[in-house]
Amino acid sequence: LSSDKFQTIINNCRDFRSRLYTPFVTLVLFIRQVLSPDKSCKNSVANFLASVSTEDNDNIPSSNTGPYCKARQKLPTETIESLVKLSGNLLSESSDARWKIYNREVKLIDGTTLTVADSKANQARYPQHDAQKAGAGFPMMRLVAILSLTTGAIVDYAIGAYKGKGTGEHALLRQIKGSIRKDDIVMGDRYFPCFFVMADLQSIGADGIF
């Protein structure tokens, strides 16, 4: 995260005043919070304060979680997406050739669904499953990802509604097909090898195993 490419994306994500929870600090705390067994904001802020208190014992910030939560909400989704894709591609490009099959990158494609917070905005953008009664279910999001078999990292992903025109896994895959390169070997389950996916792979110069 401290490299120039990552710093450029983080520093340009939004305008911010010189405060304790800068976008970089907020992002690092957010990642640590997700990885921690105790995923509470209180624990995340407490650990952060413990680290900064060793640097300046006379100016220890408040343990109130409000500023951190507000800073986290201000992280643009586009910034997170850019960082995920940048890290995945950099890992693939720098991986050892001995890890690859015939020095070719193998990329896995797959889709899944997620439930998201039950808000009016999410219900409008990601309608819930038809089998659920209105007001008794959660909005559903569809996700399709391309992963590097060499590194295990996500190279690219696309999200959409669970239902509706242009929301299927094939449609989402076509949004991110630019992450499939010449000589890549693409692997997926039997849902994917339709005419259009195979034609796309042929035009790119990639192979598919399904």
> Looking at residue 190, which CATH number applies to its domain?
3.30.420
Shared-domain flag, residues 18 and 111? no
Q: What is the pLDDT of residue 183?
A: 94
Quote the pTM value: 0.79
Could you tell me the pLDDT band of residue 204, with boundaries at 50, 70 and 90?
very high
Work out the percent of the chain whose per-residue pLDDT is above 90: 40
Model confidence pLDDT, tens digit, residues 118-168: 888 888 888 887 777 777 778 899 999 999 999 999 999 999 998 888 788
3-state secondary structure at position 19 = coil
Q: List residues bridging with 141 in a β-sheet.
A: 114, 161
Range of the domain at 169: 95-209
Shared-domain flag, residues 102 and 197? yes
Shared-domain flag, residues 104 and 43? no
Shared-domain flag, residues 106 and 200? yes
Please check the confidence at residue 208 and state whether its pLDDT lies above 90.
Answer: yes
Q: What is the pLDDT of residue 63?
A: 82
3-state secondary structure at position 61 = coil
Better pLDDT: 52 or 23: 23
Structurally, the chain folds into a number of domains equal to 2
Shared-domain flag, residues 100 and 67? no
Whole-angstrom Cα distance, residue 162 to residue 10? 30
Could you tell me the pLDDT band of residue 57, with boundaries at 50, 70 and 90?
low
The reply to whether 45 falls in a domain is yes
Label residues 40-65 b or e (16+ Cβ within 10 Å = b): eeeebbeebeeeeeeeeeeeebeeeb
Q: What are the strands, taking DSSP E only, across 53-131?
A: 106-115
The one-letter amino acid code at 68 reads: Y
Query: Taking the CB of residue 111, how many other CB atoms lie within 10 A of it?
Result: 20
Tokens 């076509």 locate to: 174
Could you tell me the pLDDT band of residue 55, with boundaries at 50, 70 and 90?
low
- φ, ψ of residue 133 in degrees (nearest 5): -75, 150
- φ, ψ of residue 158 in degrees (nearest 5): -140, 145
DSSP H or E segment with residue 67: helix 66-73
The reply to whether 83 falls in a domain is no
Tallying the residues shown for the chain, one arrives at 210
In the sheet with 106-115, reading across from the earlier edge strand, the strands are: 154-161, 140-148, 106-115, 185-187, 207-209
Could you tell me the pLDDT band of residue 18, with boundaries at 50, 70 and 90?
low
